[in-house]
Amino acid sequence: MAGWARAVRGLLLDVSGVLYDSGADGGVPIAGSAEAVRRIKASGLKLRLCTNETQATRENFVKKLQGMGFDVSVSEVTAPAPAACHILKERGLRPHLLVHDDLVPEFAEIDKTNPNCVVLGDAAENFTYANLNEAFRVLIGMEKPVLISLGRGRYYKETDGLKLDVGAYMKALEYACDVQAEVVGKPSKRFFESALAEMGVLAEQTFRRKPPRREA
Amino acid sequence: MAGWARAVRGLLLDVSGVLYDSGADGGVPIAGSAEAVRRIKASGLKLRLCTNETQATRENFVKKLQGMGFDVSVSEVTAPAPAACHILKERGLRPHLLVHDDLVPEFAEIDKTNPNCVVLGDAAENFTYANLNEAFRVLIGMEKPVLISLGRGRYYKETDGLKLDVGAYMKALEYACDVQAEVVGKPSKRFFESALAEMGVLAEQTFRRKPPRREA
């Protein structure tokens, strides 16, 4: 065992492209990955799934993974929406949400009346002309627009082709409002730090496995 | 008459906000503007309307102006779509169009088979999730993506509220494809130069009247 490996106390794992490949029926597990997760946990290492998934609540995300044979729980997942909720509460922000329908429950306990920020996720079919104009109007109506973006991906692949990711829409709103979004999710350092804090380990005690870069 | 005024041979006029204010029924003429256009033409000065209008063909744009009492003709209008057609022909580009339905006839004589560029206008209701993904896929499929944007406005006001303008969607596609759009229309220098060439006057012989800046 290499020297660095002996110091490792926990692992941060990407999920899509590492544990499973997305596809038609929610995806297929990558061969050996469920067994790897089992062995990691059996070894006493701490484990945390670090995902930019914003098309489902953590509950549903974990259900999907469990259905593929992964022994994981909601408490082992770090995702942008809960991290954003933490920021919203901390700063007294009331979001106007432009997110996927399936993500909305993550914000159930957040006050959304009289919004003073916009939270943007991969809204997919909710990225309509009307919804984009509405989010824009909320932002431009603020003295100092606050735009929180759940990730900044450019695009991703689904079975029916490539799709623009949240980052593209983030750029549209940034330009229209002359504002810079606060990105919550990978690759934000703060996002990784909260994952570490939740695991209770230090950065130098972790190992993060990520797949080969597939997109710009 | 001031010294500079004696040298003037032609005028470039903005239209929306200078000759008329947009509004519910296509807009209302600004008091005195139709008479001003008449006097400019009677004086022997050359006149050219320089607009970023991309929600209508020049024909329909001019019909609207004539209906408001302006003595103007199609040949006096410089607009992004015809300027883009000039570029497309010059460079052998075949566009995938993401524009307003009412602008499509401006591209009637352009070969659009097997696209090797994307032309983006203020598509308004045509800015759907599906259409944006489609334009993105055409771009990202090119060895060297060519994106031509008819203007780069951030937003504008309509009677039912503010709307994101073409520039916001341009930024989304620029980011997703890591490409810089070529902007045709104001404030591109080349656009003003073609307006001058069409009038047959030099830059120092013209006077351009523009309204106070209303948006960022």
- Count, in order, helices (H) and strands (E) of chain B: 7, 12
Q: Which domains does chain B have, with CATH numbers?
A: 3-79+188-209 (3.40.50.1000), 80-184 (3.40.50.1000)
Q: Is the ipTM of this complex over 0.85?
A: yes
Q: How close does chain A come to B82, measured CA to CA in Å?
A: 26
Highest mean predicted confidence (pLDDT) among A92-101, B4-13, B45-54, B198-207: A92-101
Question: Per-residue pLDDT averaged across B159-172, rounded?
Answer: 94
Res A4: pLDDT: 63
Residue B194: the pLDDT is 84
Task: Say if residue B187 is preceded by a cis peptide, omega within 30 of 0.
Answer: yes
pLDDT of residue A175: 98
pLDDT tens figures, B166-177: 999 999 999 999
Q: What is the mean pLDDT of residues B149-165?
A: 91
What is the structure's pLDDT at A36? 95
Per residue in A39-80, pLDDT tens?
A: 999 999 999 999 998 989 999 999 999 999 999 999 999 999
Chain segment A88-107, per-residue pLDDT in tens: 999 999 999 999 999 999 99
Q: Which residue has the tokens 């109506």?
A: A141
Confidence of residue A216 (pLDDT cuts 50, 70, 90): very low
Segment B134-149, tens digit of pLDDT: 999 999 999 999 999 9
Can you name the residues that pair with A117 across neighbouring β-strands? A95
Burial of A67 by CB count in 10 Å (0-12 exposed, 13-18 middle, 19+ buried)? exposed
Distance of CA A56 to the CA centre of its chain: 10
Residues of B with CB under 8 A from a CB of A: 124-125, 127-129, 132-133, 136-137, 140, 154-155, 161-165, 167-169, 171-178, 216
Q: Is the pLDDT of residue A24 over 80?
A: no
Contact B182, A167 (CB under 8 A): no
Rounded to whole angstroms, how far apart are CA atoms A82 and A181?
17
Q: Which of B175, B178, B180 to mutate to test the interface with A (most CBs of A within 10 A)?
A: B175
- Interface contact flag, B140 A162, Cβ < 8 Å: yes
Disruptive mutation site among B164, B165, B183 for chain A (greatest number of A CBs within 10 Å)? B164
* Partners of residue B154 in chain A, C-beta under 8 Å: 175-178
Tell me, what's the pLDDT at B3?
63
pLDDT at A211 over 90: no
User: What is the arithmetic mean of pLDDT over A30-42?
Assistant: 95
